[in-house]
Structures are given as structure tokens and as C-alpha cells.
Amino acid sequence: MSDPIPDNPYVLNEADITEPPTHWLKRLGYVGPGFILSASIVGSGELIMTTSLGAKAGFVTLWVVLLSCLVKVAVQLEFGKHAIYSGDTAFSAFNKLPGPRFGKANWSIWTFLLLMILKFFQVGGVMGGIVLVMKLALPGVGGSLDSWLWCGVIGLSVSLLVYRGYYAPIEKASIVLIGLFTLTTLAAVFLLSRTPYAVSWADIGGGLTFHLPAAAVAVAIAAFGITGVGGDEIIMYNYWLLEKGYAAKTGPRRETEEWVHRAKGWIRIMYLDALLAMVGYTVVTAAFFILGAAVLHRQGADPGGTDLIKTLSSMYTETLGPWASGLFLGGAFVVLYSTLLSALAGWSRLFTDVFAQIGLLDFKNGPQRRRIVAWIAWVVPVLWGLLYLKFENPAYMVSLGGIATSAILLIVVYAAIHFRYRLLPHSLKPTRLYDVVFWVSIVSILMVGVYSFVQSLPKSAATPAPATATEQVSAKS
């Protein structure tokens, strides 16, 4: 069991100081922030974008998905460390980054706000996925209700849960159900061996060649941004660590031997939390990708438009039988709804902090912060629903958000480097192995971004103009 969470975890004081547990079983009682991210990741990344990438490109892009899951965690750890030893929120830290300021806010905050426009499309696509699930799961009632009514019901329910403060128990239940859904997905992958869609080691090996077909560049960029922990989710991790009490239990920075001991102890628990979550979402990601590549790609199926959920459900019916359609729909609802819930809980904090950095409120003022969080919890789902009703293409909408997530990740990388080499106390300096992994993470993120951009440039010398135009059109569809 973990200790009670401080009343206002964003304000550090001596009364909340707690020694970190040393036994690994007791440490497990304090994990959780990483799994909140996992609840957010699975819906838009694994369920939609990963299977879409597998369906469109086949096994050849398996390396993109695995690299995306594995390399970002070191950047996440650096953000986590900064939250613990400084007690700063992510955007409070961003506001101290070098570079121009516009008004009271740093360039990084304004850039984040612009990129979040595309992120609204992403979560609007997730809401649309839930609408499609409800229409298929309840053909009598669900089919007769218009999409805008379903958007209203879904948006109202998630707003009530976040606004009323019932997020924690719903989150715990969602994580349990996601675990059950993940086991079902792993069973579906295992049962592929008994179907015409059996996966061979040659298929897996072909996906680790680091080749990226030109036609798959756009969806690969989106998948790299969304799968694993994304740029905005790394930012959210800061708030979940603070609200779990990691920084409050460490106490205000004193540079004493006792403070350093506590900081190192809580940082070790944060490492455990992040790595356990990474193992979980990497396994889920690989499972969804294999299903998409083995079943949907070989069928020539394109999981897009309003047939998204119906197409994805064929991954289960082809491997487990027709009865599995209902199982998939129930699991898909849990996964997508938990994503919507955790996204709204996270966004309400992110935007409240952004408004605070612009100068509209005091984020550390508990009543004021909670009032704005509640207001955002009512407004944001309305915008998600309106965007879905306008475009009604969840896969396309999620891919737009993935591109924005990749761009946000570049800001996050810059901030992580600044945290590591300009702000980290000497007493908390990591080992050389950590720094090696940290830079492998950063270089991998930058290389994939640059490579994807270069691959997306027109190849007029290699391909006649009409063919290239056709390929570009098909890649967008």
C-alpha cells in the first residue's frame, strides 16, 4: 500500500516528506503513473495506428513500432527525474527554457499550443471509434441513434467522471480490463498458427531490416509518434508523478545528504514504474501489429473510414471465430474509453498549466486550478465530438495527431537535454550507461524523423511524374 497522496502535491513542504521504500514489493505499491500513460497509449496508438500500419505496409515496418516503444523511455525518465528533484510542472520548466518569449510564455509553450490543434483530431478519432463500437455492439438501439447523439452521451459521461473526481477508481478498473483485452489479443496472435495467416520467423525477420517503403512513410511517421509513449504523454508523465506524490515525498530541494538519499530512492521507484509500463505497452504493440500485418495486410483490408471497427474486428473473427466479434467490441470499448478518460484527465491539467504560464491563473492555487480543470473537462469533449462529426474517419484523424505527436517529441527531446546537462544536480548525475542509453534514444528519435522526411520527398529522377503522383494520392487515402 502506498501512503496517502498530499492534498496539494504541486506545493512541496516538509510535512509530506516520506522515506522511499527499499524492498521491491513495497516499491511496487508506489507504481502507477506509467500505467496511466499505458491506458492512454493503447487506444489511439496500438488499437488504431499500429494495426493500420501493419495492414498497409505488412511486416516490413515492424522495426518502426518496436523502436518507437523502446527508445523514448530514456527521455521519459529524464522528465521524471526533473519532476522529482525540482517539483516543477512540465510547462513551468518549459517556460524556463532558452529562447524567445512572446508575452509571459516561452516559444516552446506557444509551439505546443499550435501542435495541439492536430491532437484534437486524434482524440476526436478515438471518440469516433467509440461511436462505431456502440453502433456495432447495439445494432438495434445503437444503429438508430445518430452519431451526434452518441458523441453527446460519450462526452457527457467522460466529463462527469473527470469533473466529479472519480477518475482514480475508473482508471484502476480500466487497467484491469485492458489487461484482459491484452490477453485476448495475445491469444489471437498465438492462434494465428492454426490459420492460413500463420506468422513465420521469416516474416518477423523481414520486419527487422530497417527498410521503410515510400508508400508507408506517412503512416510510419504517425505510428512512431503515437506508439509507445508520445511527446505529449511524456509531458503528462510529469503531472502524474507529481500527483502520485513523488516530489512531495522527496521534499523541497535542500542539497543535504538526507534529501539526496530520498531523491535517489524515489527516482529508482520512478524507473521501475516507467520500465514496467514500457514492457506492457511494447508487448501489446507487437501483438496488435502482428495481427494487422498477418490478417489485414494479407486480406488487402484498409482499416479506415466508418468501417474501421468492423475491419479491425476481423482480426479476431479470422483467428478465434465469429463469436469473437462481441468480445472484440467489448474490449475495444474498454480500451478506447479508457484512452478518452485518461486523455481528458491529462489534457485538463496540461491546458490549465499552459494558461497559468501565459499568466491567466496561479496553477499552485488548489481551488483555482481545480475550477479551471473542471471547466476544461466540459469544453474539450465537445470539440472532440464536433471534429469527428465533421470528418468521420477515425484512422485518418488519429494519424494527424500522430504527426503532431512526433513534432511535440522534438520539443521534449530539447527540453530533456536541457534538464540533463543544465539543471540536474551534480549529486544526482547518472551513470555512463544511462547517458549512453539517453543519447541512443535521442539520436534514434532524430534519425527516424529525418529519414522519414527525406523518404517523403519526391523521387522525380527515379520515377516518372505520373506514377509518383499516383503513389502520393494512394498514400494519402
In this prediction, residues 246-267 reach a mean pLDDT of 95
The C-alpha cell of 273 is what? 514504474
Nearest to 244 by CA among 40, 35, 412: 35
Nearest to 162 by CA among 344, 307, 32: 344
In this prediction, residues 313-319 reach a mean pLDDT of 78
Looking at residue 269, its pLDDT comes to 96
Is 296 a residue whose pLDDT tops 70?
A: yes
DSSP string, 172-184: HHHHHHHHHHHHH
Is 160 a residue whose pLDDT tops 70?
A: yes
In this prediction, residues 303-322 reach a mean pLDDT of 76
* Helical H segments across 246-358, by residue range: 246-250, 257-291, 297-299, 308-320, 324-358
In this prediction, residues 442-449 reach a mean pLDDT of 79
Q: Tens digit of pLDDT for each residue in 86-102?
A: 999 999 999 999 999 99
Domains of the chain: total? 1
In this prediction, residues 50-61 reach a mean pLDDT of 84
Using the CB atoms, write b or e for 236-249: b if 16+ within 10 Å: bbbbbbbbbbbbbb
Span of 2-6, 24-28, 446-450 with lowest mean pLDDT: 2-6
**pTM of the complete model:** 0.86
Looking at residue 61, its pLDDT comes to 86
| Residue 185, CA distances (Å) to 63, 103, 228, 406, 421 in order | 20, 49, 17, 27, 42
Q: Decide if 8 is inside a domain.
A: no
Which residue range forms the structural domain that includes residue 24?
14-476
Confidence of residue 166 (pLDDT cuts 50, 70, 90): very low
Looking at residue 192, its pLDDT comes to 82
Nearest to 43 by CA among 160, 125, 140, 163: 125
Q: Decide if 117 is inside a domain.
A: yes
Looking at residue 471, its pLDDT comes to 39
Q: Tens digit of pLDDT for each residue in 169-196?
A: 545 765 776 677 678 778 878 888 888 8
Confidence of residue 455 (pLDDT cuts 50, 70, 90): low
Looking at residue 291, its pLDDT comes to 85
The C-alpha cell of 125 is what? 478519432
The number of beta carbons lying within 10 Å of the beta carbon of residue 410 is 15
Q: What element of type H or E holds 102?
A: strand 101-102
CATH number for the domain harbouring residue 211: 1.20.1740.10
d(CA 102, CA 316): 51
Is 450 a residue whose pLDDT tops 80?
A: no
Q: Decide if 7 is inside a domain.
A: no
Q: Who wins on pLDDT, 469 or 5? A: 5
Looking at residue 155, its pLDDT comes to 95
- Count Cα neighbours of 378 within 13 Å in the Cβ-side half-sphere: 7
Looking at residue 463, its pLDDT comes to 42
CA angle 335, 405, 118 (to 5 degrees): 90
Looking at residue 458, its pLDDT comes to 53
Q: Decide if 9 is inside a domain.
A: no
Is 322 a residue whose pLDDT tops 90?
A: no
Is 430 a residue whose pLDDT tops 90?
A: yes
Longest dimension (CA), the chain: 71
Looking at residue 280, its pLDDT comes to 84
Is 452 a residue whose pLDDT tops 60?
A: no
d(CA 438, CA 277): 18
d(CA 273, CA 24): 12
Confidence of residue 364 (pLDDT cuts 50, 70, 90): very high
DSSP string, 11-41: S--GGG--PPP-SHHHHHTT--HHHHHHHHH
d(CA 182, CA 434): 31
Looking at residue 472, its pLDDT comes to 39
Confidence of residue 462 (pLDDT cuts 50, 70, 90): very low
Looking at residue 373, its pLDDT comes to 92
Confidence of residue 41 (pLDDT cuts 50, 70, 90): confident
Looking at residue 451, its pLDDT comes to 63
Q: Decide if 191 is inside a domain.
A: yes
In this prediction, residues 114-135 reach a mean pLDDT of 92
| Average pLDDT over all residues of the chain | 84
